[in-house]
Every structure is written in structure tokens, then in C-alpha cells.
Amino acid sequence: MTRGTDVLFRPFQLKGLDLKNRIVMAPMTRNMTEGGTPVARNADYYRRRAAGGVGLILSEGTVIDRPTSRNLPNIPLFHGEAALAGWKSVIDAVHGAGGRMGPQIWHTGSTRAGWEPDLPVESPSGLVGPGDARGRAMSEEDIADTIAAYARAAADARRLGFDVAELHGAHGYLIDQFFWDGTNVRQDRWGGATIRERARFAVEVVKATRAAIGPDFPLILRLSQWKQQDYTARLARTPAEMEDWLGPLSEAGVDVFHCSQRKFWVAEFPEIDGEDGLNFAGWAKKITGKPTISVGSVGLDGEFFSAFRGEGAPASPLDKLIARMEREEFDLIAVGRALISDPDWVRHVQAGAGAKGFAAADLAELV
């Protein structure tokens, strides 16, 4: 029997952000804008999730003002008058339905997605994975301009009326390419043998962003150990390494760590606290003292990379999630695919009604 879900429906507050529940819509690329500008169908898609009761919506990744910041043509821009006007309609629609929302600010680095921008892609060392050359290594000037572009995007999020901004530092994209020694082999101050050294780029992005948005606007940073290039890659192999990674980011001005896992119930360091031990978000909260968001196969049987193989996933009970929320392992929980197929997933969960699960065919449209 599924346990009571009340623990998911407690309010949450951080700085000026007030959420009616603990459920976050995970950022999910849909590649369905008009050449980078969000249009009415995109605003309606997010409005439906707000009306469906999602506490905090994180947008699909939306890219900063750099020539090769996206790897597909209909990924939304978060710069330029037309795209920002489109985003203004999105946030107005979400607020109109009683929701809260932040953009996920992104640069895809050197990753491949089957489309080529006009110029060579950029990354820390001109690599997309260990020994896998692609594009060019960024110069000092590129790095400075990129840091400024992240900060400008976050400031624009605030100016447009968004409630929060998230920096995408996960999954093997640009910021993560600086973290990972498989893609950052630089010999200058942006590289180094330790995760603390390779975190410098992200720390500078966070500092510049914090300076641009002011002290009161909530800033989320999404991180992952795994990379799309290597699911088994790990940036922090011990809690001490995790402290080296997250400590400087926390000090630089991150308010919330969004800790991406493919299965939220998998323990981060089982050798320390067992197979049922703290997950990534649990350790991040313990180490930094900051609130955290967990994610990964909530309400579904089957993890999300199967979606890209065209596979759906049936609904599954929320007991494991509720148990972890009850012990306050993390503060918020992000839900991805379940919300692609069912905009009213939150209402259905609250009502104790059966959830729909995820159908891969729903990726072809904005349900």
C-alpha cells in the first residue's frame, strides 16, 4: 500500500521563494521552440504544469549568449530580444496559473546531438570525452566572456520576473567538462589535478552570477557525478572530495544544490553508510548545510536513458521517496518523465489517484 503523501505537500521557503509543495519539475530539453524563441505552445506547456500543482518548474535547458552554446537548433535561447520576450510570456503564464519557475541556464560545451553549429564547438580542452577530440579549447578571453554571459542570463531571469535561476553544471556539458578530468586537461589555472582546482570555472560563474542577481535571488546549481559520455564517471569518490567540490561553490553563492541521479534511492557512498545510505542530495545537504533537490525515476519503474531508446516506464509507488523525505535527507524532489506524460501528475498523487506512467511517444509533442 502506498503511504500518505503529506510529506511532499509541505510548503518550502528560501529567501523570497515560497513553494506550496516539495515537487519540482526537472529541466527537460524539448527542442520545440521557433528557432530559439519560446512561443505560445511552450508557454502553454509550462502553464499546464503550474495549473497541475507543480511547486517549482525548472525550464528545459536554455542557452547563454555564446556562438556555439546549443547543440540543437530549437533549443531556446536565453538572450536576445525575441527569445527573452518569449520567456516573459512563459513566466507570466506560469504565474497566472499560481506556479513558480526558473530557467535552467545552459551551455552544451562540446557535446554531440546530431546537429552542427556554424562555428567549431568550445570546451576546456577541445575534448568531448577522454581522448575524444572535438572543436577547440577555450582561450582566456572565451572563458571571461562565457562567465559574463552566464551572469547576464541569470540577471535577465530576475528582470523578467522569474522566481529563481538554475545553472546547469551536470551531465557532461560545459561546466561539467571543466569539472571532469576526462575533458579538462588544461595546464593553466582553469585545470588541475584536483576537483577543487577544476571547480574554479564553476566557482567564477557562480560568483559573477551572484554579483549580477544580488544577494536575495535564489540560485540553484545542478550537478551530477555521471556524464552522458560515461555513466560510471565520478567527480567525488569520497565525502572529503565532495567537500572539496561543493564547499567552494557553496561559499561562492549557491543557495540550493540540485543533485542529479538516475535513481534517487541509490546510496552515494554505500561503503560508509550502507546500501540504504544517503544519496547524492543527502550527502550534499550534510556537507554544505544548504537545501538540496534530489531526482531520478520518481514514480516510475525504469530510468530515464531508456526514454532515448524509445522506451516508456510504468508507474511505481512513492514509498521509497516518502521514507527519504520523512527523514529529511533532502528538501525537494524533481520529477521528469512522469510530468512529460501527465501535466496533472502532482494533483493525481495528492488525490491518491493512480498515476499514468511515462509513454515515450509523448516526447514527440508538448502534451
Q: Is 210 in the site for ligand FMN (CB under 6 A)?
A: no
- By beta-carbon proximity to ligand FMN, the closer residue of 26 and 349 is 26
- By beta-carbon proximity to ligand FMN, the closer residue of 71 and 125 is 71
Least spacing, CB of residue 26 vs ligand FMN, in Å = 3
10 Å CB burial of residue 326 (0-12, 13-18, 19+) is: exposed
Active-site pick, 45, 150, 173, 231: 173
According to DSSP, the residues that pair with 17 across neighbouring strands are: 14
Q: What does the per-residue mask of binding to ligand FMN show for 222-261, with x meaning CB under 6 A?
A: x-------------------------------------x-
Interatomic CA distance for residues 316 and 120, integer angstroms: 43
Q: Is 57 in the site for ligand FMN (CB under 6 A)?
A: no
Q: Is 174 in the site for ligand FMN (CB under 6 A)?
A: no
Q: Which residue has the cell 528545459?
A: 60
Q: Is 297 left (phi over 0), alpha (psi -120 to 50) or beta?
A: left
- Find, among 46, 62, 40, 161, the residue nearest to 107 by Cα: 62
Interatomic CA distance for residues 202 and 137, integer angstroms: 17
Interatomic CA distance for residues 265 and 324, integer angstroms: 8
Least spacing, CB of residue 335 vs ligand FMN, in Å = 5
- By beta-carbon proximity to ligand FMN, the closer residue of 243 and 344 is 344
- Provide CB contacts within 8 A for 217, sequence distance 6+: 15, 16, 154, 158, 164, 165
Least spacing, CB of residue 75 vs ligand FMN, in Å = 8
Given the rule CB under 6 A, which of 24-32, 202-210, 239-247, 342-350 is the region that contacts ligand FMN?
24-32
Q: Is 324 in the site for ligand FMN (CB under 6 A)?
A: no
Q: Is 182 in the site for ligand FMN (CB under 6 A)?
A: no
- The yes-or-no answer on residue 45 being catalytic is no
Q: Which residue has the cell 568531448?
A: 128
Q: Is 129 in the site for ligand FMN (CB under 6 A)?
A: no
Of the residues 168, 198, 200, 210, which one makes contact with ligand FMN according to CB under 6 A: 168
Cβ–Cβ contacts within 10 Å for residue 126, how many?
A: 18
Q: Is 295 in the site for ligand FMN (CB under 6 A)?
A: yes
**Cα distances (angstroms) measured from residue 130 to each of 173, 184, 227:** 14, 9, 12
As annotated, the active-site residues are 173
Task: By CB under 6 A, name the binding residues for ligand FMN.
Answer: 26-29, 60-61, 104, 168, 170-171, 222, 260, 295-298, 300, 303-304, 307, 335-338, 363
